[in-house]
């Protein structure tokens, strides 16, 4: 089976200390054929600095020869906040000759959905619906990307006994996101990190994405530590296949290659 992990971080992300070599050694051990490093590009005013992609890409080139069995792609994860940060991100990324870009929402109206305070004074349904409503609102500010990252990001750190993200939590917002993506020829990411050790979720979400015209996904572990590299990627591929998604995509120079699921 052709396995890939298209959401990896390294020491060049402000929130990660894992060396590129350690991440690649983990990818090799996991049997991955292709990986993409998607280090954070954030102009969101919460203290994170954008990755030094010039230094990162030079480090990748220096390591390629040590991992001949792995195709290594150069990417970025752009954090969406508003039109101003979107313009900064575009100016930063478009001259870097990247292979792949994820657009992600971490900050919702100035609050990081990673933080405990984000979950104060609202129900789970309100939290989940609000996160995606904001994502649907902010997505049109940025167009230089290939897939929308982790639609369920707020579930990753949610303080609930059942964190599973269902289509029924935010049908209108999800439909808006899917229609925007399909119209622009962009895709969805199946990100395994929010599942942690729980059963995988998202079949209903991906089925709706397919119903509205979604043709492809990418899969990624969002690994910030070597032990997470490649984690549950086979499950992500199986989930997309079960939802009827025709293809999983890999990228070079921002252009997709579609692999039949």
**CATH code where residue 176 lies:** 3.20.20.140
pLDDT at residue 49 in the model = 66
Domains in the chain, number: 1
**Per-residue 3-state assignment (H helix, E strand, C coil) for 123-138:** CHHHHHHHHHHHHHHH
* The pLDDT value given to residue 174: 98
Distance CA 99, CA 66 (A): 20
Whether the pLDDT of residue 106 is over 70: the answer is yes
Burial of 1 (0-12, 13-18, 19+ CB in 10 A): exposed
Average pLDDT over residues 64-70: 98
Q: What is the pTM of this model?
A: 0.96
Residue 239: domain span: 4-260
Kindly state the percentage of the chain with pLDDT values over 90. 83
pLDDT range class, residue 109, cuts 50, 70, 90: confident
* Interval 233-258: pLDDT, tens: 999 999 999 999 999 999 999 999 99
**Residue 121 reports pLDDT greater than 90:** no
Q: Which of 73-77, 90-94, 157-161 has the highest mean pLDDT?
A: 73-77
Q: Give yes or no for a contact between 219 and 236, defined as CB atoms under 8 angstroms apart.
A: yes
Arithmetic mean of pLDDT, 23-47: 90
Query: Predicted confidence band at 116 (pLDDT cuts at 50, 70, 90)?
Result: confident
Please provide the average confidence, as pLDDT, over all residues in the chain. 95
> What is d(CA 209, CA 239) in angstroms, rounded to the nearest whole number?
13
């Amino acid at each position: 089976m052709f396995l890939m992990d298209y959401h990896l971080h390294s020491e060049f992300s402000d929130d990660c200390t894992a060396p590129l070599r350690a991440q690649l050694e983990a990818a090799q051990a996991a049997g991955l054929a292709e990986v993409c490093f998607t280090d954070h590009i954030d102009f969101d005013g919460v203290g994170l600095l954008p990755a030094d992609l010039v230094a990162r890409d030079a480090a990748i080139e220096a390591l390629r020869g040590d991992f001949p069995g792995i195709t290594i792609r150069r990417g970025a994860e752009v954090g969406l906040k508003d039109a101003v940060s979107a313009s900064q991100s575009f100016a930063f990324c478009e001259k870097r000759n990247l292979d792949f870009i994820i657009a992600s929402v971490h900050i919702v109206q100035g609050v990081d959905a990673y933080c405990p305070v984000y979950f104060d004074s609202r129900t789970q349904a309100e939290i989940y619906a609000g996160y995606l409503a904001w994502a649907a609102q902010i997505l049109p500010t940025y167009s230089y990307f290939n897939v929308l990252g982790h639609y369920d990001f707020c579930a990753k750190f949610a303080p609930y006994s059942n964190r599973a993200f269902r289509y029924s939590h935010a049908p209108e917002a999800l439909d808006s996101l899917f229609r925007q993506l399909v119209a622009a020829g962009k895709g969805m990411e199946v990100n395994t990190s929010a599942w942690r050790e729980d059963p995988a979720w998202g079949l209903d979400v991906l089925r709706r994405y397919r119903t509205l015209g979604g043709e492809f996904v990418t899969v990624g572990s969002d690994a910030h530590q070597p032990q997470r590299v490649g984690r549950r990627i086979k499950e992500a591929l199986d989930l997309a296949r079960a939802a009827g998604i025709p293809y999983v995509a890999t990228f070079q120079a921002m252009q997709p290659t579609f692999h039949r699921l």
